[in-house]
Amino acid sequence: MDRFIIRGGQRLRGDIVVGGAKNAALKLLVAGLLTSERLVLHNVPRIADIATMRRLLEQHGLTVEDLDGTGGTLAVGGAITNTEAPYDIVSRMRASILVLGPLLARCGEARVSLPGGCAIGTRPVDMHLKGLEALGAEITLENGYINARASRGLVGERIVLPFASVGATENLLMAACLARGRTEIINAAREPEIGDLVACLNSMGARITGTGGGTLTIDGVEALHGATHHVMPDRIECGTYACAAGITGGDLRLVGGRLEHLGAVVRTLEESGVEVLQEDDALRVRRTGALRGVDIMTEPYPGFPTDMQAQFMALLSVAEGASMVTETIFENRFMHVPELNRMGARINVHGSSAIIRGVHSLSGAPVMATDLRASFSLILAGLAAHGETILSRVYHLDRGYEAVEQKLARCGAQIERVQD
Ligand code: UD1
């Protein structure tokens, strides 16, 4: 298992290229199940979750070709020969549940392992299943698997989601593309990654309107065809490096970063004393004065993203004054708190809120990564701390961040990866 050794105290300066969005690319690969033709994706991030999704699609019978030999351009094609998504892959990556809708729509059946709990909460899939039932699927749960059948095909319906779930919206959206008639998804999630998926599906021949407005209307078509699509930049990776500029008092140009995807994050950065400007193709992020405490509440897009909560917690732990962070999306997403406190932060958790009393400085310590975003909050703390931080279980980070140590080191961070 790899570890990172970080020696803190450097102000980061320079350019960091923002990669393709993990949470878009995973679903765009799954969209390859909806056509017998070739779907070519550019700007795919080179991360472990993408490798896991490739394995899943390959075991369904598809081929995933690496067109440029770097993993950045992938072509999905071929025929579906197996409609089962096994436990060993689904339990490793929850986004695997997204094959359920497309398999059902294309093949009339699917058997997908229940994902079970994960580090940040219980994360049920009830909305995915109820929505697919509304489209005419028969669903049973047996031996830890979801068995879904729609022998006469899916039929469009009006579906009201009780909560704007990202995954449920995407699963139903993809299934509805090949259903007979019109589907409406009311209270659909509005995350930009869903907009990217809609753009790709429409270029494959789907008929979807309403992106970003909370109601998606899908007029089903007989079949989808191949297409070429460029994955959108990763707004969470961009926001994460913006926090790195903030916490180190640095000045970074985040190349490819787009302000319009980061409204709530940028507002919060500015409130806390970090300046963010769009400069041509990059976001320039710098801090000139002291950091100030702010209050944050996570919400579905366009609210403040839960995927940025842990990174801001690191930033606010060295801000002047107190901050309150309330997590409303996942019930167990404060696992970075004890680790940050071991580095000298003063954070108290009360239910779904955390009070952070800013400290003057943090001190390096051995810490342990627990999930993807929590891992990066510990890197941020390590970059700002005095002395050496050793972060173990880096595999959590490798799931979703590309070339972290190279990107940071090029801007002056002292960070190295060591293998046990
Ligand atoms: C996606 C993102 C994840 C992000 C999250 C919220 C991917 C691969 N992952 O996860 O990074 O943190 O959106 O922005 O894109 N829920 C139910 N029943 C359901 C579905 C969800 O109760 O059927 C609950 C979940 O337990 C959670 C909340 O709804 O508490 C939000 O989940 P959801 O929006 O579905 O997140 P994911 O799609 O899993």
Q: How confident is the model over 195-208, as pLDDT tens digits?
A: 999 999 999 999 99
Report the separation in Å between the CA atom of 230 and the middle of ligand 1, taken as the mean of its atom positions. Answer: 24
Which residue's CA lies nearest to atom 25 of ligand 1?
Answer: 123
| pLDDT interval class at 8 (50, 70, 90) | very high
Computed from CA positions of residues 228, 94, 148, 162, in that sequence, does the dihedral angle turn out positive or negative?
Answer: negative
pLDDT in tens, 28-66: 999 999 999 999 999 999 999 999 999 999 999 999 999
Atom of ligand 1 nearest to the CA of 300: 14
Q: Are both 352 and 203 inside the same structural domain?
A: no
Q: What is the pLDDT of residue 265?
A: 98
Q: Is the CB of 128 under 6 A from ligand 1?
A: yes
Which residue's CA lies nearest to atom 13 of ligand 1?
Answer: 166
- Residues 356-366: what's their mean pLDDT? 97
Q: What is the pLDDT of residue 117?
A: 58
State how far the Cα of 213 lies from the Cα of 405, in Å rounded to an integer: 38
Which residue's CA lies nearest to atom 21 of ligand 1?
Answer: 165
Q: Which of residues 230, 252, 273 is at a domain's end?
A: 230
Q: Is 411 a catalytic residue?
A: no
Report the separation in Å between the CA atom of 167 and the middle of ligand 1, taken as the mean of its atom positions. Answer: 6
Question: With contact defined as beta carbons under 8 Å apart, do 343 and 367 qualify?
Answer: yes
Q: Are both 251 and 387 inside the same structural domain?
A: yes
Residue 179 confidence (pLDDT) above 70: yes
Q: What is the pLDDT of residue 340?
A: 98
Q: What is the pLDDT of residue 121?
A: 62
State how far the Cα of 183 lies from the Cα of 175, in Å rounded to an integer: 10
Q: Are both 223 and 237 inside the same structural domain?
A: no
Q: Is the CB of 130 under 6 A from ligand 1?
A: no
Report the separation in Å between the CA atom of 125 and the middle of ligand 1, taken as the mean of its atom positions. Answer: 9
Q: Which of residues 230, 255, 281 is at a domain's end?
A: 230
- Residues 341-361: what's their mean pLDDT? 97
Report the separation in Å between the CA atom of 166 and the middle of ligand 1, taken as the mean of its atom positions. Answer: 6
Q: Are both 87 and 170 inside the same structural domain?
A: yes
pLDDT in tens, 266-322: 999 999 999 999 999 999 999 989 999 999 999 999 999 999 999 999 999 999 999
pLDDT in tens, 134-145: 999 999 999 999
User: What is the rounded radius of gyration, in angstroms, for the C-alpha atoms of the chain?
Assistant: 21
Atom of ligand 1 nearest to the CA of 164: 34
Q: What is the pLDDT of residue 116?
A: 67
Q: What is the mean pLDDT of the chain?
A: 96
Q: Are both 359 and 303 inside the same structural domain?
A: yes
Single pTM value for the model: 0.97
Atom of ligand 1 nearest to the CA of 170: 38
- Ligand 1 pocket test: which of 120, 123, 129, 174 has the largest number of ligand atoms within 8 Å of its C-beta? 123
Question: With contact defined as beta carbons under 8 Å apart, do 351 and 394 qualify?
Answer: no
Q: Which of residues 230, 259, 286 is at a domain's end?
A: 230
By residue range, what is the domain housing residue 257? 2-19+233-419
- Residues 365-386: what's their mean pLDDT? 95
- Residues 162-183: what's their mean pLDDT? 98
Q: Are both 192 and 301 inside the same structural domain?
A: no
CATH code of the domain in which 187 resides: 3.65.10.10
Q: What is the pLDDT of residue 246?
A: 98
Residue 391 confidence (pLDDT) above 80: yes
Residue 177 confidence (pLDDT) above 70: yes
Residue 122 confidence (pLDDT) above 70: no
Q: Are both 176 and 271 inside the same structural domain?
A: no
Q: Are both 243 and 360 inside the same structural domain?
A: yes
Q: Is the CB of 24 under 6 A from ligand 1?
A: no
Q: Which of 63-72, 116-125, 131-140 has the lowest mean pLDDT?
A: 116-125
Which residues carry a binding-site annotation for UDP-N-acetyl-alpha-D-glucosamine? 94, 307, 329
**Residue for token pair 């899939």:** 125
Q: Are both 36 and 170 inside the same structural domain?
A: yes
Q: Are both 334 and 388 inside the same structural domain?
A: yes
Report the separation in Å between the CA atom of 168 and the middle of ligand 1, taken as the mean of its atom positions. Answer: 8
Residue 120 confidence (pLDDT) above 90: no
* Domains of the chain: total: 2
Q: Are both 78 and 196 inside the same structural domain?
A: yes
State how far the Cα of 247 lies from the Cα of 116, in Å rounded to an integer: 35
Q: How far is CA 233 from the centre of its chain?
A: 12
- Choice among 118, 177, 238, 243 that is catalytic: 118
Q: Are both 332 and 361 inside the same structural domain?
A: yes
